[in-house]
Amino acid sequence: MAVIKPFKALRPSGKSAHLVASVPYDVVNREEAKELAKNNPVSFLRVSRAEIELDEKVNPYSKEVYQRAKENLEKLKKEVPLVIEEEPHFYLYRLIMDGREQTGITAVFSVDDYDNDVILKHEKTRKEKEDDRTNHIITTEAQTGPVFLTYRGIKSIDDVVEKVINNSKPLYDFKASDNIQHTVWMVPEKDNKTIVNEIAKVKNLYIADGHHRAASAGRARKVKKDKNPKHKGNEEYNYFIGVLFPAEQLKILPYNRVVFSLNGSTKEEFLNKLKDKFLVEKSARKEPGEKLSFGVYIGGEWYLIKAKDSVSASSALSNSVSGTLDVSILQEFILSPILGIEDIRTSKNIDFIGGIRGTKELEKIVDSGRAAAAFSLYPVSVDDLMRISDAGEIMPPKSTWFEPKLRDGLLVHLI
């Protein structure tokens, strides 16, 4: 039984929403964040990535950064201004990218459900990233960006969504600089009960993107709880903000790879080593069209490699769902034995390129000499994600890239 609740959002007015809204804190580096916010004094990056206002020598994980984030949030409250709703509400958040729509319910979700695996995960988190967002939440007393959640859709919820969209005026409706349309509606209070009751029938929700945000909300809850002698369990810090999308509407892009050296092999030697387990041929196609195949860019040329029967059989006999993923096949048969990359979390010989940047980015990196080769992958499906989560397994790192991304700052949850 999944718990979903309306909340009193802190939010900008409609006319300033496009200025406040920012890309998620973790999809840009410090330099990129600084450039995006450069001519925009109300960009929410000044809260989510407050280090951009400080000297470059300042550690982005220092107390000074979190304190600046708190100060900047207070500043935005006054100057934008940001307003706090008087009553709790659900909100609809629609994204349109390249003509494809996805609409989710913005709400707060139970930290207990996260801890008890009602809300399922598919990725491991890194302590330093958890530490960062935990400190950010505790210092600002706010969850400033939503977790991206999914579930197997329910017609009764779809009916509510359609009714609200057809009969309500949006709070926000703007196209961001990346041409993605962001539209937000407030759900009328009379529909709250239907949403709560219908989601309560759902066995599991799934984190699609935002594992560190969810884990950090749980850690922040523990800190707040330990400091509250009158803790009851219904305080706002017992919940985290998220947007819940039907799985049927989502699209996962591949998370491609580049490697910086061929582990002592020449191009020809590397391609010959691939032929032991894969069919290798030059190709005008830059992206694989099916599972168990990969695009390889090396020496200014693209190759399509397809797994031979022995690899396919090994995948089929895998004892885990995650072992059947192409990212696992790539690791087991290429990265580890040929390139010597045993742990992609720690290896300096690999980097990851989100699918939204396309194969041109892979070519650019290799052609510049920064990388020796690139791999384009077939994307993981939402069904794969759910099956792995249901099995209690973890995907290999950097397996999925969700697009479009939710914007930070449009709806904030105060704890």
pLDDT digits (tens, 9 = 90+) for 117-157: 999 999 888 899 999 999 999 999 999 999 999 999 899 99
Q: Are residues 175 and 226 in the same domain?
A: yes
Angle between helices 63-79 and 127-140 (to 10 degrees): 40
Q: Classify 365 as helix, strand or coil.
A: helix
Q: For residue 219, is pLDDT > 90?
A: yes
Cα–Cα distance measured from residue 57 to residue 135, given in angstroms and rounded to the nearest whole number:
20
Q: Are residues 245 and 337 in the same domain?
A: no
Indicate the average pLDDT of the chain.
Answer: 95
Task: Look up the pTM and report it.
Answer: 0.90
Asked whether residue 397 is domain-assigned, the answer is no
Mean pLDDT of 354-367: 94
- The reply to whether 19 falls in a domain is yes
Strand extents, DSSP E, 312-369:
350-354
Quick check: is 383 in a domain?
no
Q: Find the mean pLDDT for residues 339-343.
A: 95
Indicate if 350 and 238 belong to the same structural domain.
no
Mean predicted confidence (pLDDT) in 341-367: 93
How far apart are the C-alpha atoms of 44 and 1, rounded to whole Å?
34
Residues 81 and 219 in one domain: yes
Confidence bin at 398 (pLDDT 50/70/90): confident
In a domain, 384, yes or no: no
- Domain total for the chain? 2
CB neighbour list of residue 56: distance below 8 Å, 6 or more residues apart: 30
Q: Are residues 246 and 261 in the same domain?
A: no
Domain that holds residue 338: 255-378
Task: Quote the pLDDT of residue 328.
Answer: 92
One domain, residues 230 and 282: no
Judge if 174 and 127 occupy the same domain: yes
How would you classify the pairing of strands 301-307 and 4-5? unpaired
